[in-house]
Structure 1
Amino acid sequence: MADVANARARYRRILRFAGRYMIQAWWFELVLPRFGLGALAARGRARRLQNIARRFHVLAVQYGGLMIKVGQFLSSRLDVLPPEITKELEGLQDEVPPVAFPAIRRLAQAELGIPLERAFEWVDETPVAAASLGQAHRARLTAADAEETGFADVVVKVQRPGIEEIVDVDLKALRRVAEWMSRVRVVRDHVDLPALVEEFAHTSREEIDYLHEAQNAERFAADFAGDSRVAVPEVAWERSTRRVLTLADVTAIKINDVDALRAAGIDPAEVAKEFANVMFDQLFVNGFFHADPHPGNIFVTPTPTPTGAHTGRGTGTDSPTRSWTFTFIDFGMMGEVPDRLRHSLQRLMIAVASRNSAQMIESIRAVGVLLPSADTVELERAMTALFARFGGMGFAELQDVDPREFRDFAKEFGDVMRSLPFQLPENFLLIIRAVSLTSGMCSSLDPAFNVWDAVEPYADRLLRDERGNMVQAVAREAASVAGVMARLPRRLDDMVTRIEDGRLVADVPKLDRWLRRLERMGRRVMSAVLFTGLVISGAVLRAEDLTIGTVLMVASLIPLLHALFAGFAGRRGPHD
């Protein structure tokens, strides 16, 4: 009964908090401006936002569970949320109080089915990390297990007792809040909050299934097999269950520990550049990415000798002088990018790198952020102005820009975006989180980090791949059309035979003449397709190989002449 009462109290507390500040936002942001009091509402906005964030911080630390996850996500949204909110929510993960070890011992022993003293040679009762859903302890495998796995020192991750029930309560509350907010038209028109909560729910439930996390770790390791930039801890499967996960201890230098990196002879600026490349590979090439790349989940591991050449994916350079590796941990929160969305994101990156406003907007539309009905003329004009003024600037250079100029641009973009029908599509919650954390990480490692320097060579590589894929696609399409045209006479003959054998009255001589014309026209269409394919292929390949490109373009004249003049011979025959 006590547990049920606590769950109800938790649910009501979350709803009261959300309801109170939703009403406050409605009053200050919607009602007062309608009565000409917008300036009054704006004057105290920063203080109100700071107060909301501070109170949510207290709520999250007190209740833990998914409230910590929500706060972490909000703190990473430096791109859309004001600093009054993000600063107050920083460090939430580090403030989670650990669970007393006796409770952890009971849960681990129940899961493993044997006493901890038999499962491990020893376990450190002081946790190495305490998170919202579980906590980790260092341990050592028994001699027999160590011989079988090939490693002895491990980290045992144990779920917080009762966390599944807490997650259920939190998700129930979040669903109700999403339902309330969806009744506000400006929210409903721009984001499907119930769908967003369901995506968050799916991710959260996967995160508390440690067997699923172990499978994610092995899949991630397979994606980077042979790539010396990335390492992944091995799983001790015999000591892992849904609530207990045992991994090789790979503790090294935290990626954001700049002083430790320098002491190890590692350049933080090089780490920033390489980290961006590794994350780009996950998002735009593999389609399977680490969605929680905060500093606690990534180590920089010095290696005893310089690493050899990696697989060559992305634009990461495996310099012969580099002697360190990224070691990722905690694979509970992973994301997948479907092929179609990944292609749209690749096109978006190419557009950003080339400062092509029109292509960027079309790519955003293809991704699904802008609805098909959106009139993007003003947005394209604003993007062109943005690229002209700020394109190519790094973080350090942007800090020197007059803040008033930033405010003017922000106001203009805010007005334009509010006038457009946009929405947050599915699969985007984790992508946005990963990109936000990656950008923040790189800037903290190197204040002069320029995202353009990372994006442009990567986009250039994607563009080269796309050219090759386009040539292959044109060739496949031409072959497909040729196949259809080759089969067309037999199919048409079969159709005529069926007509003649039936009871339908048909003027067969006229039908034969019509079919011959249709066949000639089909062959001319096929020639036109072949001409187009050869011309495009030649134009693309001329940039890489002048000889082959020129030969293809010259060869395109043959199908062009056929497409233009093949019909004349038919016209000299008998007329209908």
Structure 2
Amino acid sequence: MISRRERFLQIIEVLTKHGFGFALGGLKPQWRAPLARVKLIDPQTVHSQPEHLRMALEELGPTFVKLGQLTSTRPDLLPPGYAEELLKLQDNTPPIPVEQIRAMIEAEPDTQAEEILTHMDPDPVATGSIGQAHAATYQGHQVIVKVRRPGVTDEVNRDLEILQDMAKWVSRYWTAAQDYDLEGIVEEFSTSLRDELDFLQEAKNSQRMAENFTGHPQIHIPEIFWEASTSRVLTMERMFGVKINDYVALEAEGIDRHLLAKEATDAICKMVFEDGFFHADPHPGNLFVEPDGRIAIIDFGMVGNLTEEFRDHLITLLLGVVQDNPRRAATGLLGLTDSGTHDISKREIEKDVAVMMRRYANKPLKEVRVGALMADLISVLRHHKLQLPRQSALLLRMLVTAESMGTGLDPEFDLVSSVQPYAERFIMHRLSPEMLLNRLRATVEDAVQMGVDVPEYVRRLIVVLERGGFDVHLRTDELEPLFKNGTKISHQVVAGGVIAATINGTAHIIASDPERWKKYHTPLIVGGMSTVGVLSGYLAVSSNVDRVRHLARLLRGNRKKSTVR
């Protein structure tokens, strides 16, 4: 493996050759000198910058191919045309000789190497930048043995360190790199790629997905053979079937494509809205239709995790679009971004979302294409220099892929209508007594903590005022929503304060005079807990009133209309 210095020089030479030397303006003089001899590619041989970028990444090898593949999932970061071109990235890594594969399996402890190697096909079924896969037989089962490429971990770690250094010095002088937090993006990419290097992590993802689909016989997740797997060697059940986009073969097998589109989409919606854990790369190469009609899903190296709060924002966005409510759509959209770290005007974003939504006015739901909708929403984010966290970007890309897959199987497929029942069930789940009780408990805990923290915050405020005060900056376009919500917020703060005071007061009574507490504990409990119960109930209801309204409008919409107004 070449040294870090030699690799760094190699990277900047390739980038310069393909016309991206402008991004290296902060280089020190000792690094600029070798670039003078670099011969630029004739611009007539390649017709676009996106193609130049794809070629440069392919030339730089596995780490950069993976970088391009992951970046292709981030249209919020790339100018138009780049994401589509990066999807064409080809992993030109040559196969590893089978002798090396055998040696690596034998070197791994506790992999049942002798049994695997006795029945392993010497020709790989797949090769990639990270690993190579071979068919084998293990304990009477047909399996796939995936082996990490020798030396790839050291190569990737070296390249990632170089990328992190480059991100730091590029961010010093390139405004765009600062706006989009280039250092944070590289760090996020590094974490994702290192996870892919650990095959045990992929095995855990696969097992978790299999557990989530217990009781759903139409979905088949490969079994993991843990006793024959390590971080460098993964042994799993081999899947057989027709690729989900091989329409000719599906017709020949007599597969109902309409039903297949529904079952595949139901599986994806379950991952997102019920489990909060989804396959982040459901392209046709990872989905097969087995002879018995089951859908087999493979390759869980890239997955996404969604909190309930995140799913709330996603549903708010979708409801805002369906109900032609720009304010709600903008609220949901901002909830999916890193907007908390940016100085933005929500009112301006609402205006841009409203303009965007006019394109979908009076369209039937089945004519609303999620891919086009997401592209329009991302253009709004780019205009305001906002970006999506990794989970948001993975989810949006997955939904677009799911829609493309569904319409390929069934021209009448409508992703929005497919998502709607899952969104309804998610809202009902959030409003269930159990969830409301959990939220009530959290609200009371927050109120108690607020009662403890407020005196300290007041003390700090007084200290600041004594030292000369502070500046207050207000956006006039944000005052109206502030005034409209002020009363509601103040009521909740007062209620929270009373709850905290009641609980703290009761605690002081018990501590100061235990004998008197024994005498009067019944009326104190009844009075105090009634107060806490009533005010806590108010807090729970007031904090969830928007969800109740969302559900009511959604249910009314189901009965009255099927078009976007």
TM-score normalised by the chain length of structure 1: 0.67
| Alignment correspondent of 2:492 | none
Question: Is 1:208 equivalent to 2:178 in the alignment?
Answer: no
**Aligned counterparts, 1:172-571, within 5 A:** 172-183=161-172, 186-188=175-177, 190-303=179-292, 324-371=293-340, 373-390=343-360, 414=379, 417=381, 420=384, 422-425=386-389, 427-468=391-432, 472=437, 490-491=506-507, 493=509, 527=534
SS at match of 2:422: helix
CA deviations on 1:24-62 (whole Å, 9 max, x unpaired) are: 4799xxxxxxxxxxxxxxxxxx99995333333334444
Question: Is 1:131 equivalent to 2:131 in the alignment?
Answer: no
CA distance in 2, matches of 1:429, 1:91: 19
CA distance in 2, matches of 1:284, 1:543: 16
Distance 1:139 1:523, change over 3 A: closer
Shift of 1:475: 6.5
| Alignment correspondent of 1:36 | none
CA distance in 1, matches of 2:311, 2:348: 27
CA distance in 2, matches of 1:86, 1:99: 30
Distance 1:191 1:541, change over 3 A: closer
CA distance in 2, matches of 1:269, 1:262: 12
CA deviations on 1:309-357 (whole Å, 9 max, x unpaired) are: xxxxxxxxxxxxxxx3222212222232244334433433443443332
CA distance in 2, matches of 1:284, 1:49: 43
CA deviations on 1:353-394 (whole Å, 9 max, x unpaired) are: 433321222223333433474212232233233333225858
Shift of 1:493: 4.3
SS at match of 2:129: coil
**Equivalent position amino acid for 1:456 in 2:** Q
**Equivalent position amino acid for 1:362 in 2:** T
CA distance in 2, matches of 1:478, 1:418: 36
SS at match of 1:158: strand
8 Å contact from structure 1 (residues 140, 154) kept in 2:
yes
**Equivalent position amino acid for 1:334 in 2:** V
Shift of 1:235: 1.6
8 Å contact from structure 1 (residues 73, 433) kept in 2:
no
**Equivalent position amino acid for 1:380 in 2:** E
CA distance in 2, matches of 1:544, 1:84: 38
Shift of 1:209: 1.4
Question: Is 1:166 equivalent to 2:155 in the alignment?
Answer: yes
Distance 1:537 1:295, change over 3 A: closer
Distance 1:421 1:159, change over 3 A: closer
SS at match of 2:289: strand
CA deviations on 1:87-133 (whole Å, 9 max, x unpaired) are: 54344356543223222222222225799664344211221111220
**Equivalent position amino acid for 2:166 in 1:** V
CA distance in 2, matches of 1:63, 1:534: 56
Distance 1:215 1:521, change over 3 A: closer
Q: Which moved more, 1:130-139 or 1:357-366?
A: 357-366
8 Å contact from structure 1 (residues 283, 337) kept in 2:
yes
Distance 1:475 1:375, change over 3 A: closer
Distance 1:196 1:273, change over 3 A: farther
Give the number of aligned pairs: 469
Distance 1:47 1:398, change over 3 A: farther
Shift of 1:163: 0.9
Which runs of 5 or more residues in structure 2 are unaligned?
Answer: 26-42, 446-495, 515-525, 553-565
SS at match of 1:265: coil
Question: Is 1:101 equivalent to 2:98 in the alignment?
Answer: yes
Q: Which moved more, 1:187-196 or 1:198-207?
A: 187-196
Q: Which moved more, 1:473-482 or 1:232-241?
A: 473-482
8 Å contact from structure 2 (residues 221, 296) kept in 1:
yes
| Alignment correspondent of 2:108 | 111
Shift of 1:137: 0.9
SS at match of 1:137: strand
**Equivalent position amino acid for 2:260 in 1:** V
CA distance in 1, matches of 2:437, 2:310: 20
CA distance in 2, matches of 1:454, 1:522: 45
CA deviations on 1:380-420 (whole Å, 9 max, x unpaired) are: 23323333322585899579xxx9xx9xx96x985x64563
8 Å contact from structure 1 (residues 137, 156) kept in 2:
yes
TM-score normalised by the chain length of structure 2: 0.69
| Alignment correspondent of 2:89 | 92
Q: Which moved more, 1:378-387 or 1:164-173?
A: 378-387
**Equivalent position amino acid for 1:255 in 2:** I
Distance 1:215 1:358, change over 3 A: same
8 Å contact from structure 2 (residues 76, 381) kept in 1:
no
SS at match of 1:332: coil
Which runs of 5 or more residues in structure 1 are unaligned?
Answer: 28-45, 147-151, 304-323, 499-518, 546-576
SS at match of 2:254: coil
Distance 1:435 1:231, change over 3 A: same
Shift of 1:540: 9.3
| Alignment correspondent of 2:453 | none
Distance 1:119 1:538, change over 3 A: closer
Distance 1:110 1:541, change over 3 A: closer
8 Å contact from structure 1 (residues 53, 85) kept in 2:
yes
SS at match of 1:462: helix
| Alignment correspondent of 1:4 | 2
Shift of 1:538: 11
CA distance in 1, matches of 2:356, 2:125: 45
Equivalent residue in structure 2 for 1:55, among 48, 52, 75: 52
**Equivalent position amino acid for 1:51 in 2:** S
Question: Is 1:73 equivalent to 2:64 in the alignment?
Answer: no
Shift of 1:492: 5.8
Shift of 1:197: 1.6
Larger Rg: 1
CA distance in 2, matches of 1:485, 1:385: 48
CA deviations on 1:550-573 (whole Å, 9 max, x unpaired) are: xxxxxxxxxxxxxxxxxxxxxxxx
CA distance in 1, matches of 2:284, 2:533: 57
8 Å contact from structure 1 (residues 191, 424) kept in 2:
no
**Equivalent position amino acid for 2:65 in 1:** I
The percent of aligned pairs where both chains have the same amino acid is 30
Distance 1:154 1:419, change over 3 A: closer
SS at match of 1:123: coil
CA distance in 2, matches of 1:160, 1:535: 56
CA distance in 1, matches of 2:551, 2:409: 37
8 Å contact from structure 2 (residues 111, 227) kept in 1:
no
**Equivalent position amino acid for 1:453 in 2:** S
8 Å contact from structure 1 (residues 393, 450) kept in 2:
no
CA distance in 2, matches of 1:542, 1:362: 15
SS at match of 2:2: helix
Shift of 1:485: 8.0
CA distance in 2, matches of 1:161, 1:478: 52
SS at match of 1:4: coil
| Alignment correspondent of 1:316 | none
Q: Which moved more, 1:471-480 or 1:54-63?
A: 471-480
Shift of 1:18: 4.2
Q: Which moved more, 1:16-25 or 1:278-287?
A: 16-25
Shift of 1:497: 6.6
8 Å contact from structure 2 (residues 145, 235) kept in 1:
yes
